[in-house]
Structure 1
């Protein structure tokens, strides 16, 4: 069995981690390398896994908690991926509300499984369009601590900034984290990816000293966010426009969240029907929608959907709003809708299996 290189990419919800990993996987596969991916979530039913499946890449997921709290599950996921695809490169994306990855994931892997995996420097992705207005100070603390542990810090979505704004943002990151390599990328457009890929494919993690982290504030940050994962089906006597359905659901839900002063960390929706796929997301309640798969004219009479919502709201409120807008969509399009899986919750306090200080 191959001794694969493991590339871990963290960062806050909506930073563009899945988009980056897909772009990297496609470039590495084009070089003739076997590539696999591991996705991660506090719950089950991931848009990210569905999106990777759409690209016909080997993927497995760790559900029910972050890599650090589900470390045995992470090991099993890696082993499943190796048994199924024997990848030379594994790209792994921890939950977007997770931090302290060096002490709880990389160091344990290096200590006990260093003969199985080559561990790349820890990459943290920062979204250039991320604003934390409305979120608590604990969420801002978590966001900053994620960047603080990066060995490689990528400012993503730079295509949305003017050259002057991009330069200012990069200068701020470089001043705040002077020992960290920082550079701009656009995962969606491929800008700046090659230097990063070369770095993570040729360098190994230095396992820097563990992050100074207040676990109480960390737990408070995760607990502020309501999580909702929904899967379902929709059937209509007439073919439904995929892109229009996606836009109506996301914009309608976001409008009600904004009216309730409930800040959005990430809304993402994956839709399939009649061999067509759509995937779209929002990282604020006022938009815009960002498309990974945009079938502008595609229609289908039977749809399968996966919706993930990460919002500063209590789970009951979030579930009520999600159910309301799914019902409205069924009514608007005279379709029969059925929810096949729904879970809404607040993440439990982080309890890593390991936390290695040295």
Structure 2
């Protein structure tokens, strides 16, 4: 049986870091591991990073797993048939919810004889939790639904928040008694074994989440989404890709803080002859985090920026243009944008939505059961 692990959680919670850490751990156990990244658009920083860490990496873009369920089926089949995957870790879009009804139940009911689906894990950044709990906005509504449907609520960044997570865990356990609540650090892997062990246990409850899809759609549309490519060239002498990336995200951080924009996440990767650089930002006005760096200077490089910011798309485009140019001036590089304009996600329309306890015909009309052939 192939084991599918589905990771949920708001933007910037650390899903990718968790996915890669777990992927390495499963590989060390001798298991053949594949991962699937997911986004509303192509050109993901996370996919680039994953390909530098693991052998089998796939990407589903153009919508969340629930709205691209047939793509998810096909990708799982390909990873099993062509790559021999034994464990598949799938990281859902950070603005997605209702996964129990739209992804987990369809997979279990259609393919329960060839797949096991782990309890849904909602990964949480404790800093974001403090800011979002009690928030009556549409984004707050979405965040609360992600918590409510988690079989496992995993408080990430224990290396940063330490003993304070004990009290937070107790509060979450009282608010969501159906869920296993645990803390860990994806960065240091402390507590990762306990999280992975939870994926082998049965789900504690068949959660039937009530979701107002108008509010869900409004929450996604509150964020401008940008996947953007920038070609960098030396203006005179070789430049440092790591320095450019750090300065570009620092400019984004400061600009968003001045404008009062909420940052869902901001990520940048730079590929060059020096190697791969990857940095991230999860809160306006805060320092940039270096996830992977490569010392050295180069004459050319290609940068990919993924930003999810609570502003109008045109404002985000202008913000990124200023940041790229300002960083270029500081490090001696010319920045030329080659593609990518900000957009707002369309209304979520899942392929399936199965309530708890509902029957699901094995020969659903128009369904080929591709995993079974």
TM category (shorter chain) comes to over 0.9
Maintained 8 Å contact 1:47/1:306: yes
TM-score by structure 2 length? Answer: 0.90
Q: Take 2:328 and 2:177, find their aligned partners in 1: how far apart are those partners?
A: 52
Give the match for residue 324 of structure 1: 322
Counterparts of 1:278-293 in structure 2 under 5 Å? 278-293=277-292
1:13 equivalenced with 2:45 (yes/no): no
- Shift of the 145–58 alpha-carbon distance from structure 1 to 2, 3 Å rule, reads same
- Shift of the 82–232 alpha-carbon distance from structure 1 to 2, 3 Å rule, reads farther
1:167 equivalenced with 2:166 (yes/no): yes
- Shift of the 126–140 alpha-carbon distance from structure 1 to 2, 3 Å rule, reads same
- Shift of the 90–185 alpha-carbon distance from structure 1 to 2, 3 Å rule, reads same
Deviation at 1:116, TM superposition (A): 2.8
Deviation at 1:291, TM superposition (A): 2.3
Counterparts of 1:11-160 in structure 2 under 5 Å? 11-130=9-128, 132=131, 137-160=137-160
Maintained 8 Å contact 2:138/2:215: yes
Maintained 8 Å contact 1:119/1:205: no
Maintained 8 Å contact 1:43/1:343: no
Maintained 8 Å contact 2:38/2:61: yes
Deviation at 1:207, TM superposition (A): 6.5
Give the match for residue 274 of structure 1: 273
The number of aligned residues is 353
Give the match for residue 196 of structure 2: 197
Instruction: String of CA shifts for 1:235-270, please: whole Å, max 9, x gaps.
Output: 214222232211100011111111111111101111
Q: Take 1:57 and 1:315, find their aligned partners in 2: how far apart are those partners?
A: 35
Q: Take 2:351 and 2:205, find their aligned partners in 1: how far apart are those partners?
A: 18
Q: Take 2:290 and 2:83, find their aligned partners in 1: how far apart are those partners?
A: 29
Q: What root-mean-square deviation, in Å, do the aligned CA atoms of Structure 1 and Structure 2 show?
A: 1.8
Instruction: String of CA shifts for 1:82-134, please: whole Å, max 9, x gaps.
Output: 3442111000000000000010001111121222311111111011121547x
1:349 equivalenced with 2:347 (yes/no): yes
Deviation at 1:275, TM superposition (A): 4.2
Deviation at 1:292, TM superposition (A): 1.8
Deviation at 1:136, TM superposition (A): 6.4
Unmatched 5+ stretches in structure 1? none
Give the match for residue 182 of structure 2: 183
TM-score by structure 1 length? Answer: 0.94
- Shift of the 136–65 alpha-carbon distance from structure 1 to 2, 3 Å rule, reads farther
Maintained 8 Å contact 2:173/2:179: yes
Range moving further from structure 2, 65-74 or 208-217 = 208-217
Maintained 8 Å contact 1:225/1:310: yes
Maintained 8 Å contact 1:152/1:180: yes
Give SS of 1:173's match: helix
Q: Take 2:208 and 2:178, find their aligned partners in 1: how far apart are those partners?
A: 15
